[in-house]
Amino acid sequence: MKRTSAGLLVVLALLATGAGFAFDHLLTVTGRATFTPSGFLPVLLVLVAVAVLALAWPVRRSTRGGRRIDPFRALRAATLARASGLLGAIMAGFGAGLLLFLATRPVPAPVGSVVAMIALIIGAALLVGVALIAEQFCTLPKDPDERQPDEPAP
């Protein structure tokens, strides 16, 4: 399984920024109030980050200490880390799009909405960082017996 690339995370964040901006614009055009994320959402993202790190930590200990771990458990932890990184990039981009829409309006936005969106962006960025670290934890070290086909024999 390949590791998550920074380019993919940036593209997802940019697409989600456009989606967040368009969503808020659509709400205001139809006469509805702008979308404000719940104050619990950043807390939930941080809790997911803690869970991802807690699931990846035993895999890191087993790769460093030589203890055997179930490979399916390691794969699940790596998959969860990757999915959490993608989710964090999307949520950070969506929150940035909502914040960008509020910043471009001629009417000043309520402080509570701005704080909620900034908290969402910070929580999502923390999730991305922790997910990338957890994905690194789930990476197996190179086996000295394995050679790539293009490498010369020692």
List, run by run, the mean pLDDT of 10-residue segments along the chain (154 residues).
88 97 94 90 96 92 77 89 96 96 88 92 97 88 60 58
Tokens 């962006």, located at residue = 121
Per the CB < 8 A criterion, the answer to whether 96 and 13 are in contact is yes
DSSP-derived 3-state class of residue 47: helix
State the DSSP code for 148: -
Q: What pLDDT does residue 148 have?
A: 59
Sign of the alpha-carbon torsion through 102, 104, 109, 115: positive
- Which pair of structure tokens corresponds to residue 85? 């990184």
Q: What pLDDT does residue 149 have?
A: 61
Say how far apart CA 102 and CA 23 lie, in whole Å: 12
Note the residue count of the chain.
154
Q: What pLDDT does residue 141 have?
A: 62
Q: What pLDDT does residue 53 have?
A: 95
Q: What pLDDT does residue 153 have?
A: 56
Per the CB < 8 A criterion, the answer to whether 24 and 96 are in contact is no
Q: What pLDDT does residue 3 have?
A: 84
Alpha helices, DSSP H, located in 105-143: 111-137
Residue type, 36: T
Say how far apart CA 60 and CA 66 lie, in whole Å: 10
Q: What pLDDT does residue 17 have?
A: 97
Per the CB < 8 A criterion, the answer to whether 19 and 101 are in contact is no
